[in-house]
Structure 1
Amino acid sequence: MTISLVELLILILASFRLTRLIVFDEITEKLRAPFFNEIVEVSEAGDAEEYIVPKKHGVKGWIGRALNCYWCTGVWASAFCCILYAAMPVLGGFLLLILAVAGGAALIELAVQQRMD
């Protein structure tokens, strides 16, 4: 199977956006919640800080550790994007294009924000 540079760029941007969606975005927070514990620590000044850490044991712990690692989740997201592209080129390609456009927009926004700082 050969793909063009444009198709490769779409896959790269789509996997980037899907990975960020899974690992960081608020919209998927409830999906990540079963795999993490919230820990609240109070400083000597009385300020409370919340930390989210992966569960320690079992499948939930393994998934939590994978979700806590951007690089690990990125491998699985990339695999999903490639399988989707190969298995369903029309519908999958359309969904990947949406993710790729969103990923490109996110990178542009990041560049704009850095210039404003």
Structure 2
Amino acid sequence: MFFESWLMFFIFSCAVFRLTRLLVFDKITSFIRAPFIEEIQVTEDDGSVSTYMKIKEAGLRKFFGELLSCYWCTGIWVSALLLLCYEWIPKVAEPIILLLAVAGAAAIIETIVIRWLNE
């Protein structure tokens, strides 16, 4: 059994959340998305800037572009990757999963604090 406790489930959930956001949204990983997705910035009528994703070409580039533009889809594959790594190479996977989980929990807390302060 993968999860010995609810704590492990929570740790994995936070790690999957953070790695998925890292791959799909964060600027630091735009080089991973670049071969598959073109990010287009448009200035809206109110002056704000919106970013839109245009999936490139066909074939594998299109497949990975669609995958990386959908956080639901990417989340499934990230979950599978982390679970398999934890099962097959736990000594390598554990510190990475813990790092991602702490960062994920911090991101969730930060979102809650920002919303609370803006009320």
TM-score range, shorter chain: 0.7 to 0.9
Inter-partner Cα distance in structure 2 for 1:43 and 1:95? 39
Tell me if 1:30 matches 2:7: no
Coordinate RMSD, CA, aligned: 2.2
TM-score in terms of structure 2 length: 0.85
Inter-partner Cα distance in structure 2 for 1:104 and 1:114? 16
Deviation at 1:78, TM superposition (A): 0.6
Tell me if 1:88 matches 2:89: yes
Q: Deviations over 1:78-115 (max 9, x none)?
A: 11110111112222111100100000000000001111
Equivalent in the alignment of 2:112 = 111
> Bigger CA drift: 57-66 or 82-91?
82-91
Inter-partner Cα distance in structure 2 for 1:17 and 1:86? 20
Equivalent in the alignment of 1:97 = 98
Deviation at 1:49, TM superposition (A): 7.0
Alignment of 1:1-117 (within 5 A): 1-3=1-3, 4-39=5-40, 51-117=52-118
TM-score in terms of structure 1 length: 0.86
Inter-partner Cα distance in structure 1 for 2:44 and 2:79? 40
Higher Rg of the two aligned structures: 1
- Count of residue pairs brought into register by the alignment: 114
Structure 2 portions without partners, runs of 5+: none
Q: Provide closer, same or farther for how the CA distance between residues 113 and 40 of structure 1 changes in structure 2, counting only shifts above 3 A.
A: closer
Q: Deviations over 1:1-55 (max 9, x none)?
A: 25221111111110010000000011100110010135577889xxx97633111
- SS of the residue corresponding to residue 53 of structure 1 reads strand
Q: Provide closer, same or farther for how the CA distance between residues 24 and 42 of structure 1 changes in structure 2, counting only shifts above 3 A.
A: closer
AA aligned to 1:70 is Y
